[in-house]
C-alpha cells in the first residue's frame, strides 16, 4: 500500500502537463497536480496564464495519497507504541532513529525530487513524516515518561482521540478562514499589525477544530478508520 501511494505521489515528477508539455517541478505549477486542480476547480479559481498554466495550485491530486502515507506511518508508530515491550528507552530511540532517517532520506531525495509542500512531493512527505516521528518521541517523553498532564496536554489528547475528525474539520476551517475571514484579517491588520491578525485567524481555526472534537470527546464518540 505504501509503495503504491508513494508511486502516486512521485508521479508528479514524470507526468506531463496535458496540452503544455513535460512536467517540471522547478517551474511553478508546471506539473500534473496543478493540471488536475485546474480541471477540477476551473479557470475562474486558478486563473491560468497565457500558456495555460494556473497561477496558483494547491496540489489536490497529491494531497489524498500523501495524507494517506503520513496517516499510515502514524498508525504504525502508534501501534508500535501500544504493543512495545522492550521498555521506553528503546522505543524512544527507535522513534528518534526512524524520524532522523526519514528526514535525511527526504533531504537526500530532495536533491533530485524537490521538497514542495504545496503539491506534496514525495521528498516532502518523507521529510514531514520524519518530523512527525521525532515529535511523537518527544511528546512520549514529555507525557508518558515525565507524567505531564496539564491543560495543553489535555487539549492535545482530546484532539488526538479524534485526529481524523480534527484533520477533516481543519481542511474546512482553512477554507472558511481563507474566504470568509479575508476582509476581517485586512481590517484587523490595519488596526493592529499583520502578526496580530495572523494569530487571530490561527486562533479562529484552532477554535473551529477543537470545539467539535471536544464535544465528541464529551460524548465518547471516536471516529476511526
Mean pLDDT of the chain: 77
CA dist 154 and 149 (Å) reads 6
pLDDT band at 25 (very low <50, low <70, confident <90, very high): low
Residues 191 and 133 in one domain: no
pLDDT higher than 60, residue 65:
yes
pLDDT-above-70 percentage for the chain: 66
Determine the 3-state secondary structure of 17 from DSSP: strand
Residues 5 and 64 in one domain: yes
pLDDT higher than 60, residue 3:
no
Residue 108: the pLDDT is: 92
- For cell 490595519, the residue is 190
Residues 108 and 206 in one domain: no
pLDDT band at 29 (very low <50, low <70, confident <90, very high): low
Q: Residue range 69-91: average pLDDT? A: 79
pLDDT higher than 60, residue 135:
yes
pLDDT band at 27 (very low <50, low <70, confident <90, very high): low
Check residues 25 and 69 and name the one with the higher pLDDT.
69
CA dist 27 and 96 (Å) reads 34
Residue 16: the pLDDT is: 61
Residue 183: the pLDDT is: 76
Residue 102: the pLDDT is: 92
Residues 153 and 140 in one domain: no
Residues 89 and 189 in one domain: no
pLDDT higher than 80, residue 128:
yes
Residue 211: the pLDDT is: 92
- Mean pLDDT lowest for which of 14-18, 34-38, 121-125, 157-161? 14-18
List the grid coordinates of 167: 484533520
List the grid coordinates of 127: 521529510
Residues 153 and 139 in one domain: no
pLDDT higher than 70, residue 30:
no
Domain end point (choices 146, 165, 195): 146
Residues 130 and 207 in one domain: no
CA dist 52 and 43 (Å) reads 9
List the grid coordinates of 47: 486563473
Q: Which residues pair with 67 in a beta bridge?
A: none
Residue 173: the pLDDT is: 82
Residues 19 and 61 in one domain: yes
Residues 34 and 132 in one domain: yes
Contacts of 202 (CB under 8 A, 6+ apart): none
**Radius of gyration of the chain measured on its C-alpha atoms:** 20
Domain end point (choices 81, 112, 146): 146
Domain total for the chain? 2
Q: Residue range 149-167: average pLDDT? A: 83
Residues 28 and 101 in one domain: yes
Query: By the 8 A CB rule, do 131 and 82 touch?
Result: no
Residues 30 and 138 in one domain: yes
Task: Name which of 140, 68, 65, 135 is nearest 103 in CA terms.
Answer: 135
Question: Residue 174 burial (CB < 10 Å; 0-12/13-18/19+)?
Answer: middle
Question: Residues of 8-40 as b/e, b for ≥16 C-beta within 10 angstroms?
Answer: bbbbbbebebeeeeebebeeebbbbbbbbbbee
> Domain residues for 67?
1-146
pLDDT higher than 70, residue 110:
yes
Q: Residue range 81-98: average pLDDT? A: 82
Contacts of 59 (CB under 8 A, 6+ apart): 12, 33, 34, 37, 118, 119, 120
CB atoms within 10 A of CB 76: 13
Give the chain's largest Cα–Cα span.
60
Residues 80 and 163 in one domain: no
List the grid coordinates of 35: 493540471
Phi, psi for 6 (deg, rounded to 5): -65, -40
Instruction: State the number of CA atoms in the 13 A half-sphere of 192 facing the CB.
Output: 11
Domain end point (choices 146, 181, 197): 146
Check residues 120 and 115 and name the one with the higher pLDDT.
115
Amino acid at each position: 500500500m505504501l509503495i503504491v501511494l508513494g508511486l502516486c505521489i512521485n508521479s508528479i515528477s514524470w507526468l506531463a502537463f496535458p496540452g503544455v508539455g513535460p512536467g517540471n517541478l522547478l517551474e511553478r505549477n508546471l506539473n500534473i497536480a496543478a493540471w488536475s486542480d485546474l480541471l477540477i476547480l476551473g479557470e475562474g479559481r486558478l486563473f491560468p496564464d497565457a500558456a495555460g498554466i494556473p497561477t496558483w495550485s494547491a496540489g489536490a491530486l497529491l494531497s489524498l495519497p500523501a495524507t494517506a502515507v503520513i496517516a499510515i506511518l502514524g498508525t504504525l508508530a502508534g501501534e508500535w507504541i501500544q504493543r512495545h515491550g522492550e521498555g521506553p528507552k528503546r522505543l524512544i530511540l527507535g522513534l528518534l532513529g526512524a524520524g532522523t532517517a526519514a528526514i535525511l532520506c527526504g533531504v537526500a531525495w530532495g536533491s533530485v525530487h524537490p521538497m514542495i509542500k504545496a503539491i506534496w512531493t514525495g521528498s516532502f512527505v518523507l521529510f514531514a513524516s520524519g518530523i512527525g516521528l521525532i515529535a511523537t518521541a518527544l511528546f512520549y517523553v514529555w507525557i508518558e515518561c515525565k507524567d505531564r498532564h496539564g491543560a495543553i496536554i489535555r487539549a492535545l489528547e482530546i484532539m488526538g482521540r479524534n485526529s481524523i475528525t480534527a484533520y477533516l474539520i481543519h481542511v474546512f476551517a482553512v477554507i472558511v478562514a481563507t474566504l470568509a475571514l479575508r476582509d476581517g484579517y485586512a481590517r484587523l491588520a490595519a488596526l493592529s499589525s499583520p502578526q496580530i491578525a495572523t494569530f487571530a485567524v490561527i486562533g479562529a481555526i484552532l477554535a473551529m477544530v477543537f470545539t467539535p472534537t471536544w464535544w465528541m470527546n464529551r460524548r465518547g464518540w471516536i471516529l476511526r478508520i
